Chain A
């Protein structure tokens, strides 16, 4: 995915995937278990931003909320309603976990949109941990609450009897594919969006350098702005989708019977 032109003496080499490289912040190139990398930095910034929003938002606790308080209250109410509607009232004891997931994802998506920032959620390693945690939580909750009855999730009792074993196999497969699709959906969306912005960003100078591009370059710049707007939407929707799927899986664990 390297675009090189011969215009000019040095030639412009452009790599849209370079923004996803994990590199240590202090000295050396080796990345070990506890190396402080740009991922660590942006995750820390995410946590700081979330804390700042909620500390500032809940400091006043006014009857007529300030802007910061409104944002905090809206976010809280939005997720609370989602958990209640999708997963049921008895899932509300998992609300803090789901709220944390949503805030972490939405903030790291939005922070990644800052130019030169690093999008932590564009790495499958990060999203896979989040998705595996959801998968393990849901499975353990299901078995703790229902014991072997949780396996009824795979036995579709509304289907005709001869069909049920076939459906059971399909249900088991789809259950174990959940963490895979759950994590790749988020990482893939974030990675694809940022790569597209970078590709359009490359068009502008490349076309300008080749001499024909006085008319094309503004188009490319407008395209970047449009893609950026779409990415803001996608950042929020993907965090929403991740959270709502968590709620759906939780509902399955709490009420496994079809």
Chain B
């Protein structure tokens, strides 16, 4: 059980940072779900909006990736 309190803090922080991934999951799900809801109402317009869908997903996902990056920094760089 040796090791110092800084490392413990870093590990706890890395775990906490993973909560951000849950937020990104909700964001991506929200984008995709709303796209599907809209696409089922007007299927003929859906094909032209897939680019927008992916841009929206990419923006929502980037923030989850940032939290993953914070976790990695805490594990390996601090």
Residues in chain A within 8 A of chain B (CB atoms): 1, 17, 82, 85-86, 181, 184-185, 188-189, 191-192, 237, 240-241, 244-245, 248
- A65 CB to nearest chain B CB (Å): 24
B59 nearest CB neighbor, chain A only: A181
A1-B75, A17-B76, A181-B62 known; A188-B54 Cβ under 8 A: no
Q: Can you list 20 A-B pairs with a CB-CB distance of less than 8 A?
A: A1-B76, A85-B51, A181-B66, A184-B65, A184-B66, A185-B61, A185-B62, A188-B65, A188-B66, A188-B69, A189-B61, A191-B72, A192-B65, A192-B68, A237-B54, A241-B54, A241-B58, A244-B51, A244-B58, A245-B55
Interface range, B side: 10 to 19
User: Knowing A184-B62, A185-B62, A188-B65 touch, does A244 contact B55 (C-beta < 8 A)?
Assistant: yes
List the 4 shortest-distance A-B pairs measured between CB atoms, nearest first: A188-B65, A241-B58, A185-B62, A181-B62
Please give the residue numbers on chain B whose beta carbons come within 8 Å of chain A beta carbons, in ascending order. Answer: 51, 54-55, 57-58, 61-62, 65-66, 68-69, 72, 75-76
Q: Which residues of B contact A85 (CB under 8 A)?
A: 51
Give the chain B neighbours of A188 by CB distance below 8 A.
Answer: 65-66, 68-69
| B55 CB contacts on chain A under 8 angstroms | 241, 244-245, 248
Bound: A82/B58 CA distance, A: 16
